[in-house]
Structure 1
Amino acid sequence: MPLHHTDLIFPSQSVPIHQSVSSLSRSRFSITNHLHSIDRDSRFVCRVADVLDLPLIANERCGSWYVPTQRKKGSVYFKSTDGHWGQWKFSLRRLNLGILDIVGEADGMFFPEDHKSHQLRTPSQVISRSEHSQIEAKIRQFVSSFIELNVDLHAVRSKISKPLLPVWITQDDKSLSTLQRDSQYHTVVLCTSSCSVIGGEDTDQGYIQGAGDDSENWAHSLTPALLWEHKDVLLSASEDDLPSIIAKLTSQDQHSASDRQMRPVAPTSQIFISEIASTSKPLLQGNTQAIITCGPSPQDDLEERLKSRYLHIKCGLGKQGSRDLRSELSKVRDFLPQIAAENVHDLIVCCETGKDFAAGVALAVLCLCAHDDGRVDFKDLGTQVNKTVVRQRLSWIVISYPDINPPRATVQAVKAFLMNGKYESS
């Protein structure tokens, strides 16, 4: 006889069925299952890297969960929707040129004019010929958009000696042991870390597909760096103990302080981007530096030390902060001639992360007072700013700081300020 829903027995007749289902779902998506799923997928990723003898690069924001910290050579940034049907736009905000340093390391200065290497390659098992053709038709415009940024193409070419050859690998592939690198190309393996599971989870094994995604919903502020430093402790802990263990680890975390090298936004030698926390380090030298901080409250110690060489931009959190930024940027325009009069040479722009509002303010500064060759004149503010100038200056930031990818709302706030609201969303 077939079973009916009336045959199901619940712990208590007083517990509604939706509550029982929710309880089962919470158990299935436990912290324990997330961590063990990540560990399983990471072992596959490392095996691929070992077979091909290639460095590991994480696609942020969740890619670092699957790459042990000691093996991570760098990061790239792609939106989760990049490559989906119809999502074929070439992002000028995510150039990811830093990957070329890793790909072409120690391979010399030659760049071949091999027209066969110009052909578009896509995974035939998931991309139809029609879709391939539609993407291919857009490449010429992508190239034009990139050239319009005035990026130093000689420097870009010098990083690699052969064309890039993309190879797609998933856990469903059975030929991992037979994979080989082609000596005529720089092999770039695009590895899908997780298994493909109908519904996203394997209820029998507690496996979660894409377990590193949406960590704010399950990780209790655990970070990939902490996971890989304390993996054995975390994987052996019970579900009940994990929240308190994670809380203790995060409170002792020494990874929160940025170790990003303080360097100028090239081709300038005077504009820097940093976290507010880094301003406690000995950055200041005489009267040659000024600092702008962005956030809810000013930094009293900086205000006391720097006086007129300090500016605070009041920004809330999230998208509200981007709206605040638009109205606050006029203070930056007034501040620049002021520090020019004090013979300031270096300007450091900071926010809590060093990746959001600081990047937006730095973008505004570059558009206002940086020439195309990188010369900066704080007293000579540009008035003819257009979308091309904004894109070029933004490319300076993302090339100089590959880990910075300012949110769309922040970039739009800067565009609106610089062009008096007369700009097209892009």
Structure 2
Amino acid sequence: MEPWPKEGNVRRHLKSKERTSVYNVLRSIYEDSLLVQEVSDLLPRVPVLANLRCGAWYHAKYDGDCYFKSTDGHCNHWQFSFTRLNAHVARTAAECGGVLLIDSTKSSVKRTPDSFSRTVPIWCCVVNRALGLVMKAEEAEEEEERPPQWDDALHLPSWVSDMEASEIEKRLEGWSQKLASTQRSLLLELSGKLRRPLRALWLSEESLIWDQVTVEDREGFPFTPVYLLACSKFGEYPRTSSEKFCDFSWRYLRGAADDHESWAEGLTPKIFWSHHEVLLRTDPEDIDQVVEDLVKAEGLQYGAGFAGKRLSQRISSCSAGGTGISWIGNLGIGICSAKALSSLDAETKAGAACLNCSTSTRLEDLEPVKHIEVLPHKFDRFSLQNALEEATAFISKNAREGRRLVVTCDDGQDISPAVVAAYLLLFGVSTSASREECQGSANRSTGGKYTKEDVRSAVSCVTQYCPAAHPSRGSIKQVYNFLIRTGT
């Protein structure tokens, strides 16, 4: 007779089962989405952006998205990412007088995810300081219109200790100097739009004063607010707000959308919000089958990926990637997902070439077309590296001929931005160059002496124009290895 399992093991098993119950997850996401809708209604004309990947689930209609990683805010591992500049967030905040970012955390001890507690405040401070450095160097006349004291201090939430803040402060000057030296054109552009420094403000279900904040109040702020809404509730049995979908019992999960690889089975935020009424009225015992049917109806894979391996489902960008094309400066080079090709209008397709790096051989009516299949880094560590010589040569050929070019991959976020970054470095092309200058660039300008910093700077130049671009570390590493091999 087998011994009874220990009580602690049983509890862990039951808790894990609750955590991966699709119905519990989706019902918790819907519950948290009500707070997102409430806050967005209280902040009219403030764009709402999802912080990928978790935040993408909590609202039906985002104005866009961003990518501030929690790992960049982990204690003793603080970072300012130069490959994910989120320049579009600063532009949007400047143009609209503020921006609202959405994220969540499943931690029972943290009020907000580290992306909001540290990563975003660090980002605000570094951008503010780099702007100050560039404007001081330029001695621009517009500087007189700014507040007498341009606030470039580090503003962290009250729950971050003074000791930790002091350690972060030691790193800020180096990041600011580096940003000012590597992204001067971007900062000069922002200086004409951002009249007040960026500053994070934290919101949650415990916030009490925000229903009193009017548009006029916000206009009186001496800063441009970056609202950070951690939308999850506190406690295991919080008070719920929804009177809908009460047909079945369920348990609330804090930060339910996090780690979607463990529960989504191919379900995406878009599919969920298109069918949430059906899903949340489905018996929890039957919901797995309903999810499978919806996923397959969208032409997606349910639960498995290449060679039967479990897919780490990538959450597509809400603002680009799946629905549109992002043109890189004036180069005539665009980035999009392979799926988005079918939605391009005839005028865009006319006279445009296509470099298809996706795993699909389906090609739209663009001529000429070159298909070079590139697998994600997790399935082939050298696929991109081996394809870059042929891919960059094809881009260069079309650039010299003055032809517009669309570079695609499966999601428009990883491979295609990395390919364009490799081309920019290999042929010494600047994103601020004109079509004519790009057309005349046929020789390498760096003599093959590339550094990892060069690659990161090139990627950040691409992401300025393509907010959906999030090349993986593996892809960036392959670009660097290719450039080193080419220069030897």
TM-score range relative to shorter protein = 0.7 to 0.9
Q: Does 1:237 align with 2:268?
A: no
The normalised TM-score by structure 1 is: 0.81
CA contact (8 A) 1:121 1:166 kept: yes
Shift of residue 153 of structure 1? Answer: 2.4
Shift of residue 151 of structure 1? Answer: 2.8
Q: Does 1:64 align with 2:59?
A: no
CA contact (8 A) 1:370 1:377 kept: no
Residue of 64, 80, 85 corresponding to 1:74: 64
- Hey, what does 1:55 align to over in structure 2? 47
Aligned mates of 2:354, 2:19 — CA distance in 1: 48
Distance 1:392 1:149, change over 3 A: farther
Aligned mates of 2:146, 2:22 — CA distance in 1: 49
CA contact (8 A) 2:337 2:412 kept: yes
Q: What SS does the corresponding residue of 1:419 show, helix, strand or coil?
A: helix
- Hey, what does 2:137 align to over in structure 1? none
Bigger-Rg structure (1/2): 1
- Hey, what does 2:74 align to over in structure 1? 84
Of 131-140 and 256-265, deviating more is 256-265
Distance 1:332 1:73, change over 3 A: closer
Q: What SS does the corresponding residue of 2:27 show, helix, strand or coil?
A: helix
Q: What SS does the corresponding residue of 1:208 show, helix, strand or coil?
A: coil
Q: Which amino acid aligns with 1:34?
A: V
- Hey, what does 1:137 align to over in structure 2? 170
**Identical amino acids, percent of aligned pairs:** 27
Q: What SS does the corresponding residue of 1:136 show, helix, strand or coil?
A: helix
Residue of 15, 30, 41 corresponding to 2:32: 41
- Hey, what does 2:407 align to over in structure 1? 349
- Hey, what does 1:209 align to over in structure 2? 254
Q: Does 1:380 align with 2:413?
A: no
Aligned mates of 2:388, 2:175 — CA distance in 1: 31
Aligned mates of 2:439, 2:380 — CA distance in 1: 28
Aligned mates of 1:177, 1:65 — CA distance in 2: 24
Q: What SS does the corresponding residue of 1:397 show, helix, strand or coil?
A: helix
Q: What SS does the corresponding residue of 1:395 show, helix, strand or coil?
A: helix
Listed as ranges, the matches of 1:17-416 within 5 Å are: 22=13, 25-27=16-18, 29-53=20-44, 54-69=46-61, 72-105=62-95, 112-115=146-149, 117-124=151-158, 126-147=159-180, 148-173=182-207, 177=211, 181-182=217-218, 183-184=220-221, 185-197=223-235, 206-253=251-298, 260-266=323-329, 268-280=330-342, 281=344, 282=346, 283-286=348-351, 289-296=352-359, 298-299=361-362, 301=363, 306=367, 309-336=368-395, 338-339=397-398, 343-372=401-430, 373-374=432-433, 375-377=437-439, 380-384=442-446, 386-387=450-451, 388-416=453-481
Q: What SS does the corresponding residue of 1:138 show, helix, strand or coil?
A: helix
Give CA-to-partner distance per residue, 1:80-114, whole Å, 9 cap, x none.
Answer: 3222212321101111111233323356x986244
Aligned mates of 1:305, 1:176 — CA distance in 2: 50
Count of residues in Structure 1 that have an aligned counterpart in Structure 2: 399
Shift of residue 123 of structure 1? Answer: 0.5
Distance 1:199 1:326, change over 3 A: farther
Runs of at least 5 residues in structure 2 that lack an aligned partner in the other structure: 98-141, 241-248, 301-315
CA contact (8 A) 2:328 2:334 kept: yes
Shift of residue 270 of structure 1? Answer: 1.8
Distance 1:210 1:293, change over 3 A: same
Distance 1:333 1:55, change over 3 A: closer
The normalised TM-score by structure 2 is: 0.71
Shift of residue 380 of structure 1? Answer: 0.9
Aligned mates of 2:322, 2:19 — CA distance in 1: 37
Distance 1:335 1:13, change over 3 A: closer
CA contact (8 A) 2:322 2:339 kept: no
CA contact (8 A) 1:416 1:422 kept: no
CA contact (8 A) 2:463 2:469 kept: yes
Cα-Cα RMSD: 3.6
Aligned mates of 2:14, 2:199 — CA distance in 1: 47
